[in-house]
Amino acid sequence: MMKKIFLPLLSALALLPSFAAADRGVYGFDDRKDIFEAGPFYAKIARSVAAVMSGDMPVENGLVKLDLHAIGPAYSLCASERFYNQPADSFCTASLVGPDLMLTAGHCVSSAASCREQKFVFGYEMGPNGEWPAILPADNIYSCAEIIVSTNNGTVDYAVVRLDRPVTGREPLQIDRSGLPSVGDGVFAIGTPLGLPLKIADNAHIRTVGVDSFISDLDTFGGNSGSPVFSARNGLIIGVLIAGGQDLTVSPENCVMTYTTPQNEGDGEWSATSTQFVPFIP
């Protein structure tokens, strides 16, 4: 799906990260939370969600230092924007669904060449006192070894990749294998909106359900592509975030701000249903 950035915004938003799928936005109240704010249920699930990054990550004394920069000044955000002083480095999100298998959106890993460049980084989250995830254990970082499946054709958009080694200390997340969800079902997502450290987006519901996708009012953004979408009822993965409505706009002060619509309005956020990718996950 194409990005939905209006032409008058292009010059003001030119410095923002480039994401492969359509942008997303906030519906009603901004429900995004850092992992440490969200409680133990979400924190346990988030341990198995990774940021997708690229580039070399040299190891020194068993640690990797990420080259992070605050999103606010770097991308001309308004000073009042949430997470202004947090870093942004991830371009997609993925989730652990087997000992060495990651689930993401198809447009996030579309070729063997992109696979070779990508890193799956666990533990990319803010500390409770504002600590950046700038230095991580090398054991938190995995490479893409093989694409099991990757497809990107409209709402058919998912990928399963094999990592360079089994993941230790983190449990694979479970997938709903019972079929399509229903309109009105509660959902939440975990991912890296605009490349920020992991955020929970909850208090959302499914608006419509199609044969291979559903639309919800999740507060998700570019960078959430590939984020696992969970049933609020049982915590199972029911979909993968692939596209959505407008993310950002320009304020009267000529800085970049979050684009917000009433809870039940706007384009909504598209997710590929678990029925698409469950055949590829044992």
Of 2.60.40.10, 3.30.70.270, 3.20.20.60, 2.40.10.120, the CATH number of 7-277 is: 2.40.10.120
Query: Given this model, what pLDDT does residue 25 score?
Result: 75
Query: Given this model, what pLDDT does residue 74 score?
Result: 87
Query: Given this model, what pLDDT does residue 245 score?
Result: 86
**Cα–Cα distance, 220 to 258 (Å, whole number):** 11
Q: What is the pTM of this model?
A: 0.91
- In this prediction, residues 226-253 reach a mean pLDDT of 95
Residue 197 pLDDT class (50, 70, 90 cuts): very high
Residue 2 pLDDT class (50, 70, 90 cuts): very low
**pLDDT at 148 exceeding the cut of 60:** yes
Q: Facing residues of 231 across strands?
A: 187
Task: Give me 65's structure tokens.
Answer: 């230092």
Residue 243 pLDDT class (50, 70, 90 cuts): very high
Residue 12 pLDDT class (50, 70, 90 cuts): very low
Query: Given this model, what pLDDT does residue 3 score?
Result: 27
**Cα–Cα distance, 86 to 5 (Å, whole number):** 23
**pLDDT higher at 28 or 161:** 161
**Cα–Cα distance, 71 to 55 (Å, whole number):** 19
Quickly list H helices, the chain: 40-46, 71-74, 112-117, 274-277
Q: What is the pLDDT of residues 105-144, one digit of tens each?
A: 999 998 999 999 999 999 999 999 999 999 999 999 999 9
- In this prediction, residues 235-247 reach a mean pLDDT of 95
- In this prediction, residues 202-209 reach a mean pLDDT of 98
Q: What is the pLDDT of residues 61-116, one digit of tens each?
A: 999 999 999 999 988 999 999 999 999 999 999 999 999 999 999 999 989 999 99
**Token pair 């938190």: residue:** 140
**Cα–Cα distance, 40 to 261 (Å, whole number):** 30
Is residue 229 within 8 A of residue 95, CB to CB? The reply is no
Is residue 46 within 8 A of residue 198, CB to CB? The reply is yes
Q: Classify residue 259 by its DSSP letter.
A: -
Kindly report the average pLDDT of the chain as a whole number: 91
Task: Give me 252's structure tokens.
Answer: 């009267």
Query: Given this model, what pLDDT does residue 117 score?
Result: 93
